[in-house]
Structure 1
Amino acid sequence: MDLPKNTFKAALKARQQQIGLWVSIPSAATAEALATCGFDWLLVDCEHTPNDPANVQAMLQALAPYPAHAAVRPGWNDAVEIKRLMDAGAQTVLVPYVQTAEEARAAVAAVMYPPRGVRGVSGMSRATRFGAIPNYTARANDEICLLVQVETKAALGQIEAIAAVEGVDGVFIGPADLAASMGHPGNMGHPEVKAAILDAVRRIAATGKAAGFLASDPALLREVVAAGCTFTAVGMDIGVLVSGAKALVAEWKG
């Protein structure tokens, strides 16, 4: 059995647009259903959900047969949590709340085996296909995709330094926390916030690293893509569920 290729990482390097969806419902069945819909990538979220490594592993197993690439967001830039998620099989990790190049380097260290990093070695994890992948520890780093999340006003000034860190494949702009840090909580569409988002995406793209974003506003998403975003999450599973349910209620009870 060979080491799985990270097709998402290759697509970002080639600057091919990747359309994705946030997966926050802690359910392997829901994740598998979404995998049939045609998205390029699905992000299993552990930051704002009850997901834990055991649940994530079940969701990754459910997603494995499908073309949609599975990424995982840990709850924090924590090497222990990241190690457990990667042992569960995650090859692409989105680390939240990265403020500086130093914090980006810590994220790189967490996802990489020595000598590049500090990821602990486990020979019988799902990541190694339970020992079936030859020389996994020596080869795994090549297929790891690290994305870091910039989501505060202060971090915007550090984009070039963060993107320059070796091992960082992409920088994701977190719009909700960014809006809050700019004094506009809950208002991602505020002109000041929107201008900051578009400027950040252009600056990330100019570094040669991939730029990422999440929103449910199609007009904003189109502008962000035009600015250079290449891994674009166009919604969240709970949002899709609730909006669809409300549309049914409006149709049949309105």
Structure 2
Amino acid sequence: MSLNNTFKNKLLAGQRQLGGWSLSGSSTIAEALAHLDYDYLVLDLEHGPSNTQDLLQLLRAVEQTATQPVVRMASHDPIAIKQALDLGAMNLYFPFVENVAEAEAIVQAAFYPPAGRRGFAKMHRASRYGIRATYVEEANDAICLMAQLESPEALMQAVDIGKVPGISAVFIGPGDLSAALGLHGQVNHPEVRQLAADTVARCREAGIAVGTVMPSPADAVWAFKVGFSYVSIANDVANLLSKCREQLADARQGLGEAL
């Protein structure tokens, strides 16, 4: 029962990966999305309602499929990191990483000694309750830590952050980046796109993979074309509302004055 993190393997091999995003916190929706054959599915603990106990059910829902779960943590809290890893999460996003010191602290919290300070326990879900006997020896190599860069200042340090030992990739958060530029929610604004594209170019030259999330398939295609390695499309709540809004408008138009 050795660890095999296919998401990280593809990331380090330079393969493109197309992901989904689950904001709802529903394990049923996460399970359904995972069966759609995304390369990975982000389970959002930062802006969604999910907590650590919910994460257990979300992981169980996704892990029965070929889609790889990626957990967006709510913070850099070492206890929360330890709990997510002990539950079996292997791919973690971290919001608002602003500098090298913060990235180094994340690695310290996530890695077992001597590379870090993650607390040891033999009996947890990640080790399959002790049945996966080699978990501790394999965990540091299998875990994939990704630093979210969400301000112009952080993007300027993208290469230095991405080179921190233990950080596998960086992630550009377009929503918060647009807000930091005074363009709240305008993720496709030319200024936002240019800053993101410039950062991707510098990171690719340094051999650092960069990911993001885009609101539409067309935007995801743009992201891949400028060099992003892994891209999620929208999220389950946004997609649900979009489809329901479309159906509601179509029904009202068809009913006309009869409504």
Q: How many residues align?
A: 253
1:27 corresponds to: 26
SS at match of 2:205: helix
Does structure 2 conserve the Cα–Cα contact (< 8 Å) formed by 1:3 and 1:140? no
Does structure 2 conserve the Cα–Cα contact (< 8 Å) formed by 1:198 and 1:223? no
- One-letter code of the match for 1:95? F
- One-letter code of the match for 1:148? A
Q: Is the counterpart of residue 41 in structure 1 residue 40 in structure 2?
A: yes
Mapped partners of 1:250, 1:149: distance in 2: 37
1:106 corresponds to: 105
SS at match of 1:43: strand
Mapped partners of 1:244, 1:22: distance in 2: 16
Does structure 1 conserve the Cα–Cα contact (< 8 Å) formed by 2:46 and 2:73? yes
Consecutive unaligned residues of structure 2, counting only runs of 5 or more, are 254-259
2:83 corresponds to: 84
Q: CA deviation at 1:25?
A: 1.1
Mapped partners of 2:216, 2:194: distance in 1: 15
Compute the TM-score of the two structures, normalised by the length of structure 2: 0.94
SS at match of 1:229: coil
2:124 corresponds to: 125
1:15 corresponds to: 14
2:218 corresponds to: 219
Q: CA deviation at 1:4?
A: 2.9
1:111-133 CA-partner distances (Å, limit 9, x unpaired) = 11111111111211111101110
Q: CA deviation at 1:69?
A: 0.2
1:148 corresponds to: 147
Q: CA deviation at 1:219?
A: 3.5
1:33-79 CA-partner distances (Å, limit 9, x unpaired) = 11111100001011011211110011101111100000101101111
Mapped partners of 2:156, 2:208: distance in 1: 16
- One-letter code of the match for 1:55? D
1:125-173 CA-partner distances (Å, limit 9, x unpaired) = 1111011101321221111111110000111111111011111111000
1:215-237 CA-partner distances (Å, limit 9, x unpaired) = 11333322221111111101201
- One-letter code of the match for 1:40? D
Mapped partners of 2:229, 2:102: distance in 1: 23
Does structure 1 conserve the Cα–Cα contact (< 8 Å) formed by 2:21 and 2:41? yes
- One-letter code of the match for 2:60? Q
Deviates more, 1:37-46 or 1:198-207: 198-207
Does structure 2 conserve the Cα–Cα contact (< 8 Å) formed by 1:147 and 1:170? yes
Does structure 2 conserve the Cα–Cα contact (< 8 Å) formed by 1:91 and 1:143? yes
Mapped partners of 2:206, 2:167: distance in 1: 11
Mapped partners of 2:172, 2:35: distance in 1: 27
1:244 corresponds to: 243
Mapped partners of 2:2, 2:90: distance in 1: 11
SS at match of 1:169: strand
Does structure 2 conserve the Cα–Cα contact (< 8 Å) formed by 1:94 and 1:148? yes
Q: CA deviation at 1:251?
A: 2.0
Give runs of aligned pairs for residues 187-226 of structure 1, distance below 5 A.
187-226=186-225
- One-letter code of the match for 1:29? T
Compute the TM-score of the two structures, normalised by the length of structure 1: 0.96
Mapped partners of 2:206, 2:17: distance in 1: 19
2:170 corresponds to: 171
Task: Label 1:218 to 1:65 Cα distance change in 2 as closer, same or farther (>3 A).
Answer: closer
Mapped partners of 2:64, 2:219: distance in 1: 32
- One-letter code of the match for 1:223? W
Mapped partners of 1:234, 1:141: distance in 2: 29
Does structure 1 conserve the Cα–Cα contact (< 8 Å) formed by 2:159 and 2:208? no
SS at match of 1:20: strand
1:161 corresponds to: 160
SS at match of 2:136: helix
